[in-house]
Amino acid sequence: MVDNNLFSQFISAIGQAKKIVFVGDINQLPSVEIGNAFEDIIKSKKITTVKLKSTHRQSNNSKIVELAYMIKDNNFDLKKLCENQTIDSQTKSDLQTIFVDNQNQCLKEIINNYNLDDRIGFNEPYKIQIISPINDGDLGVNQINKFIQDNRLKQEKLDQKLNRAYKQTIMYIIKKIKLCI
């Protein structure tokens, strides 16, 4: 996720360093700015690289990791991905997939599933992450966040624990409610 300008500034700032160790992932999302420095460096084969084979951020049975590998290998298998994806207190999957054909129904499904709370162990808003590949439009980050704030945050007031709601992040601060929308 390092763009060319940021990488150039970094190289200028390190001066006469003799050795630099870069840690990154060639499969992560590209920078939103110009260039993809890590990927370009790795693909150039001008430096020694090491490829890690195991994941340390999620558990070994993580459905998120399984989905990532399916996408990476162009081998998406919905049936396999949905195995053991139950919403109960015994089995807490780290991934839930919902497919909706209608855009209007999609936002309603987000709210319905955002309200799952304790049934899947998400009893605080900052424990849920909704990802959209775009910022604008009916299903962009801005509209999804506005919809959640209008339909969930104002109604339930999150047990008086929410202090501010920002564009892409919900800040959790104990005390009183104040929604900045």
Question: What pLDDT was estimated at residue 164?
Answer: 46
Asked if the structure places residue 146 within a domain, the reply is: yes
**Within this chain, do residues 172 and 103 fall inside the same structural domain, yes or no?**
yes
In this structure, is residue 63 part of a structural domain? yes
Residues 74, 18 share a domain:
no
More reliable by pLDDT, 175 or 155:
155
Q: Is 109 found in the same domain as 91?
A: no
Residues 104 and 181 in one domain: yes
Residues 105 and 163 in one domain: yes
* 148, pLDDT greater than 60: yes
112 pLDDT higher than 60: yes
Q: Note whether residue 90 is domain-resident.
A: yes
Same domain? 131 vs 172? yes
Q: What is the pLDDT of residue 103?
A: 76
Q: Is residue 106 part of a domain?
A: yes
What is the reported pLDDT for 91? 55
Higher pLDDT, 56 or 22: 22
Greater confidence (89 vs 151) lies with 151
- pLDDT value at position 114? 62
Q: What is the mean pLDDT of residues 53-71?
A: 79
Looking at the fold, whether 107 and 82 belong to one and the same domain comes out as no
109 in a domain, yes or no?
Answer: yes
Of the listed ranges 57-71, 80-94, 114-128, 153-167, the least confidently predicted one is 153-167
| Long-range CB contacts for residues 122-125, cutoff 8 Å, separation at least 24 | 124/161, 124/172, 125/153, 125/158, 125/162, 125/170, 125/172
The answer as to whether 52 is a domain residue is no
Q: For the chain, what is the mean pLDDT?
A: 71
Q: Could you list the residue range(s) of the whole structural domain that residue 65 is in?
A: 57-95
| 49 has a pLDDT exceeding 80 | yes
154-179 in b/e burial notation, b at 16+ Cβ within 10 A?
eeeebeeebbebeeeebeeeeeeeee
**Percentage of the chain exceeding pLDDT 70:** 65
Residue 113 lies inside a defined structural domain of this protein: yes
Say whether both 176 and 102 belong to one domain.
yes
| Within-domain flag for 75 | yes
How many domains are there within the chain? 3
| 120 and 84 housed in the same domain | no
Do residues 34 and 91 share a domain?
A: no
- How much of the chain exceeds pLDDT 90, in percent? 4
Asked if residue 150 and residue 133 are part of one domain, the reply reads yes
